[in-house]
Structure 1
Amino acid sequence: MTVLPQSRPLTADDLAAIPDDGHRYELIDGTLIVTPAPSWRHQRAVSRLLRALMDAAADDLEVLAAPFDVRLADDTVLQPDVLVCRVTDLTQRNLPAAPLLAVEVLSPSTRLVDLNLKRARYEAAGCPSYWVVDPEAPTITAWELRDGVYAEVASVAGGEPFAAARPFPVTFAPRDLVD
């Protein structure tokens, strides 16, 4: 059994020592965030979004699904549901930089973290685009960095088309991710 230190913020090395038990472990500013396995509707949205992004991505870009570590700092390791990055930025174990796009698919247990803490950490790290998909609504909200601060560039619901320009052109409707 791994015993985590309680007298200091956790680090990426501490996170690496946790055995794989089916939970998702992330660090935000040295605080451990543990989430359960997602619902089938969540996974459907992730799978369909992956397909749309993979079909549109250039060969020099990689589209990945969680779990895959994005190491923003020694005390912040996130696992976005979907990410897009340059192939040349990857290591065998993680992405040691902000992705070009991070996407979180909301779950009841992750909603506040995804909309607040993660969004703030990606913004501070310089991630150019951040999307949040709500599979229950269904909706997608997208932010892009403008002078170092996220600005909302789209909020789309149901069958309305969502057309992104960054990190590459792609169009889909939120409903298509879950129906």
Structure 2
Amino acid sequence: MTTAVFGHDGPWTEEEYLALGETQERVELFDWSLCVTPGPTPRHQNISGELRAALRTPVRQAGLRVLEAVNVRLRPGRIPIPDLAIVEDVDLRIPVIEANSVRLVCEIISPSNAATDKVLKMHYYAAAGIEWYLLVDQESLTMHLYQRRGAHYVERSVTKAGETLELTDPVRVTIRPEDLLD
């Protein structure tokens, strides 16, 4: 399918991938192959925007940045686009953020590609050394916070609607899942 969409045959280099520029679809590079998914739904984007707004002030106070949908190089040939990333103060002109600058990644589960967020990306982010992974289920408004232990993540908390997530690292903030749909 990617050949028909992008007129390309065979493995993709990072240069070819980055030359695609911005697209309507979410296009990620996984081990020299493209993964193309439809753009996020309005509900997904609302949750993402509200979560970024909740993180903005504490992140700035910690000398970090919170970014939406940016290229993160986990290793050569592997560039996912997490829904949100808390990163060190990086050069915003460079199109790719290196994994060692990422303190937390967040994925908002889309029903059409839940396995990618729950299994594939979780494995890739942990293997790249990203300390924290926040997984938000947009249907149930449940937030799962994971911390890296070795090459894997261990679940640290599960926060459901009506409860409060107490994040202490990489920033201090409390988030109520139901506030993500305001």
- TM-score over 0.5 (shorter chain): yes
Please point out which of 14, 17, 29 is paired with 1:15: 17
Q: Which residue of 1 aligns with 2:134?
A: 131
What SS class does the counterpart of residue 74 from structure 2 fall into? Answer: strand
Unaligned runs of 5+ in 1: none
Does 1:31 find its partner at 2:33? yes
Q: Which residue of 2 aligns with 1:62?
A: 65
Aligned length: 176
Please point out which of 142, 165, 171 is paired with 2:145: 142
Kept after mapping to 2: 8 A contact 1:11/1:74: no
Please point out which of 92, 95, 103 is paired with 1:93: 95
Does 1:75 find its partner at 2:77? yes
RMSD: 1.8
Kept after mapping to 2: 8 A contact 1:90/1:96: no
- TM-score, structure 2 normalization: 0.89
Counterpart residue type for residue 87 of structure 2: C
Q: Which residue of 2 aligns with 1:171?
A: 174
Q: Which residue of 2 aligns with 1:46?
A: 48
Deviates more, 1:9-18 or 1:101-110: 9-18
Distance 1:90 1:153, change over 3 A: farther
Counterpart residue type for residue 108 of structure 2: V
Kept after mapping to 2: 8 A contact 1:129/1:145: yes
Write the distance in 1 (CA, Å) between the matches of 2:122 and 2:13: 20
Q: Which residue of 2 aligns with 1:122?
A: 125
Counting aligned pairs with the same residue, the percent is: 34
How far did 1:91 drift? 5.3
Kept after mapping to 1: 8 A contact 2:29/2:78: yes
What SS class does the counterpart of residue 153 from structure 2 fall into? Answer: strand
Write the distance in 2 (CA, Å) between the matches of 1:150 and 1:29: 21
Kept after mapping to 2: 8 A contact 1:42/1:105: yes
